[in-house]
Amino acid sequence: MHALKLVLSAALLAGVAGCQTIKPSEDTLKQRTEFILNTKVSNVADVRSDSTITYYTATTAKGRYECQMPSGGIVAVAGMGLYEPTPSCMKEGQAVILQ
pTM of the model: 0.70
Domain boundaries, the chain: 21-91
What pLDDT score was predicted for residue 42? Answer: 96
pLDDT of 82-99, one tens digit each? 777 889 999 988 877 666
Q: Which of 17, 13, 21, 65 is nearest to 39 (CA)?
A: 65
What pLDDT score was predicted for residue 91? Answer: 93
pLDDT of 1-58, one tens digit each? 566 665 555 555 445 554 445 778 899 999 999 999 999 999 999 999 988 899 999 9
DSSP, residue by residue, 37-61: HTS-EEEEEEEEE-SSEEEEEEEET
